[in-house]
Homo-oligomer: A and B are copies of this chain.
Amino acid sequence: MPVDPDAPVRISAFNWVPPFAQGRVRDLRPRWALEEAGIPYAVRKLDVMAERPADYFHEQPFGQVPSYHDEAVSLFESGAIVLHIGRDCEALLPAEPAARARSTAWLIAALNSVEPFLMQLATIDIFAAGEEWAKLRRPGVIEMIDKRLSRLSDALGEKPYLDGERFTAGDLMMTTVLRMLDGKGLLERYPNLVAYKARCEARPAFQAALAAQMADFEERQTARM
C-alpha cells in the first residue's frame, strides 16, 4: 500500500465525492500507475464542494484533479502523469520505442477518441438529467459510443491487451475510461471488451488504487458522523 504522507511524490484528490463518482475520480489513474510502478505517494486532499485554493491553479490550470509533483517536475493531466510515471517503468511503458509509441497511441485514444463521448453521456445522465436537450440528444450519443466500442472491440479481437500479450499504460487508461459505462448496458454488447476490462481491473495494482481512493472518502464520511 504505497500511500505515504512523507513520500516525495504527491498527487491531488478530493476528500469526498458523491456516490456516483466514488471509485471513478481521475486520481485513480496516477494511483494505479504508481501502484504498478511500486512508487509511494502522498495525497493533497481538496474539498470538491469548495472553491479551489488560489495556489491550486498553479498545479492544475483548470482546477481539476489530479495534479502531480515529484522532486523533478510538477504536472497535470492524468494522461501526461501516467506517461511520466511510466517513463522508467516497463510494467507501464515498454522500453522498445515502437511498442512504447503504440502504448502511447492507445492511451491517447482512450482520452481523445473514446472518453469525450462518455463524458457527454455522463453529462446527459447526471448533470443535465431531466433537461429537454439531454433527452433529445441521448440516442445520438449512445450511437456514437456504440460505434467507437464496436471499433475498439474489433481492434482488441482475441488479444488479452490492446497491443497484444502485455498490459501497458494504454490499457490502464482505456480501462478507467470504459469504467464510465458501468451500469449503462452498453459495453455488454462486446463480450471481449467486458472480459478485457475485468482482466485489467483484476490487477492487484488496480485493486490497491481503488481501495486507496475509497479509503480517503470513508475517512471523511466517518469524520462527518
Q: Which residues of A contact B (CB under 8 A)?
A: 57, 61-64, 72-77, 79-81, 83-84, 87, 97-98, 101-102, 104-105, 107-109, 111-113, 115-116, 119-120, 128, 131-134, 136-137, 140, 148, 151-152, 154-155
Contact = CB atoms under 8 A, between A and B. Distances in A.
Nearest to A85: B101
Given A79-B112, A119-B116, A73 B98 contact: yes
Main secondary structure on chain A at its contact with chain B?
Answer: helix
A77 to B, nearest CB: 4
B73 A102 contact: yes
Given A104-B83, A104-B84, A77 B137 contact: no
Contact of A105 (B77, B101, B111, B136): B77
A101 B215 CA distance: 30
A148 B62 contact: yes
Given A97-B72, A97-B73, A151-B62, A112 B109 contact: no
Contacts of A61: 109, 151-152, 154-155
Contact of A80 (B72, B105, B136, B155): B105
Given A80-B107, A80-B108, A111-B111, 8 more contacts: A75-B105, A76-B105, A77-B113, A79-B108, A84-B101, A112-B112, A128-B140, A133-B140
B152 A77 contact: no
A77 B105 CA distance: 6
